[in-house]
Each structure stands twice: as structure tokens, then as C-alpha cells.
A and B are shown apart, each in its own frame.
Chain A
Amino acid sequence: MTLERTAVPRPTWRQRVRDPGWGLLFVLPMLVLFVIFRFVPSLGAIGMSFTDYRLSGEFSFVGAENYSRLISDDLFFDSLRVTLLYAVIYVPLTLVVSLGTATLLHHVVRGRGLFRGLLFLPYVTSFVMAGIIWIWIYQSDGLINGALDGLGLGPVPFLTGNQAMVLGSLAVVSVWKSFGYSMLILLAGLKNIPEDVMEAATLDGAGAWAKFRRITLPLLRPVIFFVLVIETIAAFQVFDTIYVMTGGGPARASYGLVYMLYDQGFRFFDFGYAATIGVMLFVVVFVISLVQRYVLDRENT
């Protein structure tokens, strides 16, 4: 490279825009991909939700029939309830685990890099792999029940018990697999809290818990908000672990929204109806991020 810094006058705006063609040319490959595989399917989802599209490709417009079917479909409300319950378990759990480990990492004196690596490790695996390991961990002769058996307890029906038990067990798998990401985001947030503030509080005689509640949490609020949003959205998209571990069962106890979409689309081949569930998924995720933003904004003022 023979490019050296030389004292030349900055090119005028006119010179910079002289060639609009090149900009478009550089965007073109990505633009084509986006138009065909993002924009068209997004509009297509709305379009298909007004048809009775079938596997054969035949369809006719049915107006809002899919939507009226959806709001009278118990299965849909059950799957919405499953997903909500899952999110209610998963989001606080993953926040507590990632905030807890981030706080520990922030304060530990020795071995921070090693611990950070070990805690982050599961993030590089797939949910499928995580599901396969945890099926065994949860089995009646698996890791946890084996240990409980030694104590004369159990077996606990992690994946075959009641709904709260099954969804909680699935949530733990997802927390194990992915809390490392939120942990790193929160750890970066903790590093940005000025140390003088903490020292001033210490001099004023504040204890560790008081400092955490009165200083760390308020200053960390934007980062926590970011983590809450991405984890809530992730909770509403849960699919892989359900597919691998429970198949929506037992007795539809883990039949979540995306699982229903897959089931209607690729087991019953009811594409029009499945597309409608997709539109509802988008609406639900969109509304939740709006509500979270609104609530947090209001708390801040």
C-alpha cells in the first residue's frame, strides 16, 4: 500500500456525489438478497394470511377468515399462553443468572478471564446439541435424578410433569445455552460505571447491597433494558429445544407459538393459517418491545 497522508483540500460535496451509480452498484448484491428473501416474504406473509394457501400451491382469497378462525381457536390461545408462561419463567431467570455472574466476574480478583471463558462456553453450541444433552440430564436415570436417587429422592419428572415443570425445565436449558451473551453485555455495562461514584458511596458507609441497589442498578438500567428486550424476543421465538426435547408435549404442555406455526405449516400443510400465525408472532413481538420501551421510559422520568 503506497497511500500516505498528504495535505490536500477535502473534496467538495459535489465531487463526492458525482458518481451515484457506484454506490448503488456496491449495494446491489445485498439489495437483491433483501428484496427477494426479506421484503417479498414479509409482504407475502400478510398476503398469504388472507388466503387458504395449500401445499399444492392452489389458493383462493378467503378474506379475514384465517384471523376469525385464529381468535376462536383454543389451540392458538393455549400456545400463546404457553409462550407467555415460558417467557415469564425464562426472562427473569436469565436476567438474574447473567447479572449475578457478571457481578461476580466484575469483582473477582483472580482468574476473571478463565471464569468468563468457562461461563461463556455453552453459547457456541446449538440449541439442538443443548437439547440432546439436557434430555439425558433430565431423564429418570440421568444426571440430576441419579444424584437425587443417591439421596433417596426423586425421580423428578422434568419433561413429563405438569406444565410449569416442563416449561421451567426447557427455560433452564435455554438459560444454560445463552446466558453468556447477556452476561458479557452486562459485564461491559458494569465496567462503565465510574469507580469514583462507588468509592464515594463506600466512604459514606454504604454496604455492598446498598451500593448495588442504589448505584449499580440505576446506572445499569439502559443495559438491563437492552438485555430484557433481546431476551424477551428470544423467549417468544423458542422452537429448537421444544422440537428436540418435548415435541410440544406432554399433552401440548409446551406447544408454543412458533411450534404451532411449524406444526400447522409442515405437519398439516395449512400454509395460509400458518402464515397468519406468523403475522401474529410479529405483532406480539412488536407490541412487547413497544410496551417495554414505554414502561422503561416512564420509569426514567
Chain B
Amino acid sequence: MTTLTAPPAPAETRPAGTGRRRRRWSGANIWLTVLLILASVFTVLPFLAVFVLALSPEGAQTIPDQLPDEVTFENLSGVLSASSFLRWTLNSFVYSIVSVVVILLTAAMAGYAFARKRFPGSNALMWSFLATLMVPIQATLIPMFVLVSKMEGVNTFWGLIVPTLANSQAVFLMRQFIKGLPDDLFDAAKIDGAGEWTVFWRLVLPLTKPVLATLGIFVFLWHWNDFLWPLVIAQTDDMRTLTVGLSTLNAETVARARIMASAAISVIPCLVIFGVLQRYLVNSIATTGLKG
């Protein structure tokens, strides 16, 4: 697991017999559990509702009055055979996956340079990268759009992707992690006569795998769920991402079962990531402080 900011040792590691609280059921614990069940129902119920509505026949009696009498996959298959929906899904995958690959590579390179190399202005440059965290993306939306449209980037993949790749959180995270690696490794590589690229490919990238994985998950989720930039840059239907496409379905009067089926399908990749990597994702937030 990635421990970048070296959190203090958890209480569990203290020697036994120092009076830690007993792990057994008590009245208070039953109340805690009941409250947690209620809170979990609040977070999970909307998801269940989407899937129930997506599986309910069009126009049939369904929740909240009753569960649907029969289950149909017509809405889901109808959505999946609509060509524009498939195109939006493809666009979302391209947007997310290309961003993950390029950000991981360029952020690892920059993080390595900031952590291990000294060059004129390296500190000032790191600070100017971090300073961009203070500028909300919405504040520069208009000049970014004008710039990209001047470069003929509206309704293109590069116009969608490239402007979102300048990611200071990614650079800072990689720098912190690489700074924490033992100096000896790099000294040994130098003595073995490894060139700069060899050190980066054969030493830095393999050693940063855990943090690259964490960062990769986050970048994927950020881009898959991103809305404002795709909304302004993808103006034709065939360039829309899933989030933008869903919002247009919602604005047009598409049948509710159809909209819910689209929403259900669009959230599946995130749910898969969550299901497979839940523990990993949850633990890394506390240690890395990554935020969408």
C-alpha cells in the first residue's frame, strides 16, 4: 500500500493488554450499527433504484409504488444498440484511457526530475505548478476554449484530451513518492553505468508501481466523470462523452426507463473499478490526499 506521508502507526499495533476497548457487542454498538445501516441505505438505495427502473418495462407500474411485475432487458439492449450511445461510450474510454497513460508517464517524468534532479529554476517551477491548484478550472474555461478553438481543437479528440493533461496533483504526488525512495538505489544504478532513460524505465517506473496504480484509478475516474470541459469542447453528437450524452438525453424527452438504462450502463465501469479496487482506493485517499 502507498504510504506517502508516513501516517502514524495505527492504534492496532500497540502491545496488547494496555486496556484497549473490548471488541464485543454492547447497547451502544447496536445503535452504531443501526445508524450505519440507515446511512448505507441512504447511499445505496439510489443505485438500486436506477437498476430497478432500468429493468422495468416501459410505462409499467414500478417503484416507488411497487416492484415491477416483470423484468425486461429491452431498455438496456435498446440503449446498447443505439449508435450514438456506443459512440459516447467509446469517446469516454478514449478520453479516460489516453489521459491515464499520458498523465502517468509525463507526471512520473516530471516528478522524477523535481525529486532527484537539480536544474536552474526547479523550485520555482514546482511552486508555479502547485500554484495552479489555486485557480479553479472554471475560472480559465473561457480563455482555454478560445485557445483550443484557435488551434482548431473544437470537436477533436486532441482538443478534448490534451488541455486536461496538465495535472499538478499528479506531478506533486509522484515527486513526493520518488523523493522517499532510497538514495542508494539511484547511486548504485549510476555506478553500474545506467543511462538516464534506463534509470527512469528500469528503476523509477517499476518502483513507483503502487502509486502509479492509485493515480491511474483516480485519473480514470476524474476523466470518466468529467463534464464541463467535454460539454463545451464536444459540440457535435459524435464527439460527446457519456456524461455529456446523458445530459442531452435528460434534456430531450427520452423515456425515463431509457435514461435510467443509459445511466446504469454508464456507471458500470466505475462500479467495476470500485468493486475490484475498493480497499486500495479507500486506503489511498487518506495517505495521498488525491481529490477530484
Residues of A within 8 A of B (CB): 1-6, 8, 10-11, 16-17, 19-27, 29-31, 33-34, 36-42, 44-45, 47-48, 53, 57, 100-101, 104-105, 107-111, 113, 115-122, 124-137, 141-143, 146-147, 176, 180-181, 184-185, 187-188, 191-192, 194-195, 199, 208, 230, 233, 236-237, 239-240, 243-244, 258, 261-262, 265-266, 271, 274-275, 278-279, 281-282, 285-286, 289
Most chain A Cβ neighbours within 10 Å, of B29, B163, B285: B285
Report yes or no: B43 in contact with A127, Cβ–Cβ below 8 A: no
Could you say which residues of chain A place their CB within 8 Å of the CB of B120?
20
Could you say which residues of chain A place their CB within 8 Å of the CB of B8?
192
Q: Which 4 interchain pairs have the tightest Cβ spacing?
A: A146-B64, A23-B117, A44-B143, A126-B225
For the complex, is B80 an interface residue (Cβ under 8 Å from A)?
Answer: no
Report yes or no: A176 in contact with B46, Cβ–Cβ below 8 A: yes
Q: Chain B 5-49 against A: per-residue CB contact (8 Å), 1 yes, 0 no?
A: 001101100100001100111001100110110011011111101
Report yes or no: A237 in contact with B274, Cβ–Cβ below 8 A: no
Could you say which residues of chain A place their CB within 8 Å of the CB of B278?
117, 120
Q: Which of A3, A176, A236, A244 contacts B250 (CB 8 A)?
A: A244
For the complex, is B75 an interface residue (Cβ under 8 Å from A)?
Answer: no
Q: Chain B 233-244 against A: per-residue CB contact (8 Å), 1 yes, 0 no?
A: 000000000011
Could you say which residues of chain A place their CB within 8 Å of the CB of B184?
5-6
Most chain A Cβ neighbours within 10 Å, of B118, B187, B256, B289: B187
Could you say which residues of chain B place their CB within 8 Å of the CB of A41?
140, 143-144, 147
Q: Chain B 110-139 against A: per-residue CB contact (8 Å), 1 yes, 0 no?
A: 101110011110100100110010111111
- Say how far B161's CB is from chain A's closest CB, in angstroms: 11
Report yes or no: A191 in contact with B10, Cβ–Cβ below 8 A: yes
Can you list 12 A-B pairs, Cβ within 8 angstroms, ordered by A? A22-B117, A24-B119, A38-B132, A41-B144, A48-B146, A104-B35, A122-B47, A129-B243, A239-B138, A271-B146, A274-B142, A281-B136
Number of interface residues of B (CB under 8 A): 116
Q: How far is the CA of A145 from the CA of B134 in the complex (A)?
A: 41
For the complex, is B145 an interface residue (Cβ under 8 Å from A)?
Answer: yes
Q: Which of B106, B146, B247 contacts A244 (CB 8 A)?
A: B247
Q: Chain B 201-237 against A: per-residue CB contact (8 Å), 1 yes, 0 no?
A: 0110010000000000000010011111001100000
Q: How far is the CA of A105 from the CA of B33 in the complex (A)?
A: 9
Report yes or no: B142 in contact with A26, Cβ–Cβ below 8 A: no
Most chain B Cβ neighbours within 10 Å, of A25, A38, A115, A176: A38
Report yes or no: A265 in contact with B145, Cβ–Cβ below 8 A: yes
Q: B interface, by DSSP: helix, strand, loop or mixed?
A: helix
Q: Which of A20, A125, A131 contacts B118 (CB 8 A)?
A: A20
Total A-B residue contacts, Cβ distance less than 8 Å: 315
Query: Given A22-B196, A195-B11, are A119 and B39 also a contact pair (CB < 8 Å)?
Result: yes
Report yes or no: B36 in contact with A105, Cβ–Cβ below 8 A: yes
Q: How far is the CA of A33 from the CA of B150 in the complex (A)?
A: 16
Q: How far is the CA of A217 from the CA of B46 in the complex (A)?
A: 32
For the complex, is B69 an interface residue (Cβ under 8 Å from A)?
Answer: no
Query: Given A26-B200, A111-B33, A135-B250, are A3 and B141 also a contact pair (CB < 8 Å)?
Result: no
Could you say which residues of chain A place their CB within 8 Å of the CB of B76?
none
Report yes or no: A31 in contact with B125, Cβ–Cβ below 8 A: yes
Report yes or no: A195 in contact with B140, Cβ–Cβ below 8 A: no
Report yes or no: A239 in contact with B142, Cβ–Cβ below 8 A: no
Query: Given A3-B188, A10-B187, A126-B224, are A44 and B140 also a contact pair (CB < 8 Å)?
Result: yes
Q: How far is the CA of A121 from the CA of B164 in the complex (A)?
A: 25
Could you say which residues of chain B place their CB within 8 Å of the CB of A237?
136-138
Report yes or no: A20 in contact with B64, Cβ–Cβ below 8 A: no
Report yes or no: A181 in contact with B291, Cβ–Cβ below 8 A: yes
Report yes or no: A187 in contact with B286, Cβ–Cβ below 8 A: yes
Q: Chain B 157-169 against A: per-residue CB contact (8 Å), 1 yes, 0 no?
A: 0000011111010
Could you say which residues of chain A place their CB within 8 Å of the CB of B135?
38, 42, 282
Report yes or no: B109 in contact with A44, Cβ–Cβ below 8 A: no
13 extra interchain contacts, Cβ-Cβ under 8 A, other than A117-B278, A118-B44, A121-B44? A20-B119, A27-B110, A27-B114, A30-B106, A104-B32, A119-B36, A124-B273, A230-B291, A236-B136, A244-B247, A261-B138, A278-B142, A281-B136
Query: Given A26-B112, A126-B225, A142-B64, are A195 and B14 also a contact pair (CB < 8 Å)?
Result: yes
Report yes or no: B136 in contact with A109, Cβ–Cβ below 8 A: no
Query: Given A45-B143, A239-B228, are A136 and B20 also a contact pair (CB < 8 Å)?
Result: no
Report yes or no: B142 in contact with A261, Cβ–Cβ below 8 A: yes
Report yes or no: B20 in contact with A195, Cβ–Cβ below 8 A: yes
Could you say which residues of chain A place their CB within 8 Å of the CB of B252?
none
For the complex, is B100 an interface residue (Cβ under 8 Å from A)?
Answer: no
Q: Which of A117, A132, A141 contacts B246 (CB 8 A)?
A: A132
Query: Given A31-B110, A124-B271, A192-B7, are A147 and B40 also a contact pair (CB < 8 Å)?
Result: no
